[in-house]
Amino acid sequence: MSDVKKVVLAYSGGLDTSVILKWLQDEYQCEVVTFTADIGQGEELEPAREKAKKFGVKEIFIDDLREEFVRDFVFPMFRANTVYEGEYLLGTSIARPLIAKRLIEIANLTGADAISHGATGKGNDQVRFELGAYALKPGIKIIAPWREWDLLSREKLLGYAEKHGIPVEMKHKNGGSPYSMDANLLHISYEGRALENPAIEAEADMWRWTVSPEQAPDAAEYVELEYKQGDIVAINGVAMSAATVLAELNRLGGKHGIGRQDLVENRYVGMKSRGCYETPGGTIMLKAHRAIESITLDREVAHLKDELMPRYASMIYNGYWWSPERKMLQTMIDASQATVNGWVRVKLYKGNVMVVGRDSKTDSLFDPTIATFEDDAGAYNQADAGGFIKLNALRLRIAAKLRNKE
């Protein structure tokens, strides 16, 4: 008999976690509490409640975390212009610390002595969930079924589901298993099936949020974003909450074929993995945020942020959101955003985001009287540049003289 009496399961209602729910009841003979997070995946969540009820679950949590997700996780990440390995906008990674936080809160609320998740033993999510959980509740027991059971393929999961009467949607039209997908307000990801061969182009009908650039409108669309301390607070003059901002940018970006990515990334556990992503709103946000920073941040502050960003991105990708080093960096990043106020105008056209204007009435460091190619009326003494160049060339000149002697 297991010593686990009650476990909180991160439950989506999909294939993996539906099987896990039944497996936990059978293998651990324990009470299961389900937690389903609404972080903007765009799916009806009430079926998850009905599925959980069907298997006797008495405590069911379906929480709307969309605003918290964007305000407290996505926006802070974008203040750093965060990109992993030059391309990935961390849509899956940034959702995991919030889910871990809520799992622990529910465990405390219900008196559960364990939590469980549907992450596989090959992936990054197991690390992200569990690092977060241990950071927030060091003594919590974690059950990771993919590291215990023998249902190690999608086909075996489908067989288990059929045997135990677990309803499964989205079976592939050709009879195979569906893509492994993860969606939230920031992105949707696809893995598995043909994507496991990095040489093969993704199927055209796989994409869900964006039209192909070829099918996007022939007319460009201009969008104006207003910033306050590094965060977008209005679109085209309309004030919006954080979650509403991202949802609207997803709509606009998806309409214009923006945000598709096909990547091979290095997982924290050591392997390379191919995945496809749609991040329309995030792609616009990254481009626009760099534009407003270009006129409001001091050069050395901006460059220091760029140097630290890859380290910060790795912390998020690898699951260290709740670590002291990430919190320390976040304090520095947030301090840099005090002057990041103003507006950016972007043009959206057939998969492209083009910055066409930016300004800040209160914090712009762009001085047209100095930068002008016309007569600056003495604002900048060009003769000063000669001494500046000579001083910066001093070490180069000394080294060159030494080489010439040799």
Active site residues: 16, 96, 125, 180
User: What is the three-class DSSP state of 27?
Assistant: helix
Which amino acid is residue 356, in one-letter code? V
For CA atoms 157, 162, 165, 170, give the dihedral sign: positive
Q: For helices 96-110 and 125-136, give the axis angle rounded to 10 degrees.
A: 50
Q: Six-digit token pair at 273?
A: 């993995």
- Per this entry, what is the length of the chain? 406
Which of 86, 62, 94 has its CA nearest to residue 246? 94
Q: How far apart are alpha carbons 29 and 5 in whole angstroms?
A: 8
Decide the pairing of beta strands 31-38 and 60-64: parallel
Q: How far apart are alpha carbons 14 and 402 in whole angstroms?
A: 70
Q: Are 27 and 144 in contact (CB under 8 A)?
A: no
User: What is the three-class DSSP state of 317?
Assistant: helix
Alpha helices in 154-199 (DSSP H): 154-163
Q: Which run of H or of E encompasses 401?
A: helix 384-405
Instruction: Name beta bridge partners: 402.
Output: none
Task: DSSP letter for 74, please.
Answer: I
Largest CA distance in the chain: 87
> What percent helix, strand, coil does the chain show, rounded to 5?
45, 20, 35
Which of 134, 105, 132, 129 has its CA nearest to residue 118? 129
Strands (E), 104-220: 114-116, 141-143, 180-183, 188-191
Q: Six-digit token pair at 56?
A: 């006797």
